Amino acid sequence: MSAARCCSRCRAGSGGPRKLVAIDCEMVGTGPGGRTSALARCSIVSYGGDVLYDQYVRPTAPIVDYRTRWSGIRRQHMANAVPFGKAQREILRILAGKIVVGHAICNDFKALKYFHPQALTRDTSKIPLLNRKGGFPENVAISLKRLTKELLHKDIQVSGHSSVEDARATMELYKRSSRPWGRRSAPRAVSLPPCLNQAVAPPPPCQG
């Protein structure tokens, strides 16, 4: 998908408020022992679940561990993958000015080497109302798979991870937790680290 196509689809929007998008990223391992997480796929969907962006991404460092069991990424996916720098620019153009929803979204932003404004960030792993509706303790981070099963009555991640499937599930969960989109009166998520709307310095460690 070209950058122009990504951006035109983002501007057009469909199925709901244009200002709200959900993101999910899949990571592979780089560096010694493959312990460093690097972006290998990013998917962004609209409020209505339409795919605005879905690309495999080639990390800047050699891949040591594809983490296929969890990421769904295989060696062949890198054959036509977009270089990280190009993918980052395309993704940030879509996210600019948007309310961005994710599950444990700090990990996605860390993989993107990006800070999104805190006021425009919604993390479904830190919304007490969702936990309460699912019968979970409010102060514990529950996996996307478990929340989706309990609240949406859907099974995801059955045969591996799909970032499109996960992003759509995240958006549907957020709809269950929120009042009309984008209002600050929506259930308050636990704060993420303070955000600087820059894509230069590496982000701070994720909290929680």
- DSSP sequence for the chain: --HHHHHHHHHH--SS-TTEEEEEEEEEEESGGG-EEEEEEEEEEETT--EEEEEEEE-SS-EEE--HHHH---GGGGTTPEEHHHHHHHHHHHHTT-EEEESSHHHHHHHHT----GGGEEEGGG-HHHHHHHT--TTSPPPHHHHIIIII----SSSS--HHHHHHHHHHHHHHH-SSTT-TTSPPPPPPSP--S-SSSPPPPP--
Burial class (CB in 10 A: 0-12, 13-18, 19+), 63: middle
pLDDT in tens, 120-132: 999 999 999 999 9
CA 61 from chain centre, in angstroms, equals: 22
Q: Which residues of 162-194 are buried (b: 16+ CB within 10 A; e: fewer)?
A: bbbbbbbbbbbbbebbbeebeeeebbebeebbe
Look over the chain and give the mean of its residue pLDDT values, rounded to a whole number: 83
Judge: domain 3-177, CATH 3.90.650.10. no
Sequence spans of domains, the chain: 3-177
As a whole number of angstroms, the distance between CA 73 and CA 155 comes to 20
Provide the pLDDT confidence category of residue 179 given band limits of 50, 70 and 90: low
pLDDT at 137 over 80: yes
How far CA 162 is from CA of 19, 38, 56, 165, 181, in Å, comes to: 23, 16, 11, 5, 25
pLDDT in tens, 37-91: 999 999 999 999 999 999 999 999 999 999 998 899 999 999 999 999 999 999 9
Dihedral sign computed on CA atoms, order 119, 121, 124, 125: negative
In this prediction the pTM is: 0.79
pLDDT at 184 over 70: no
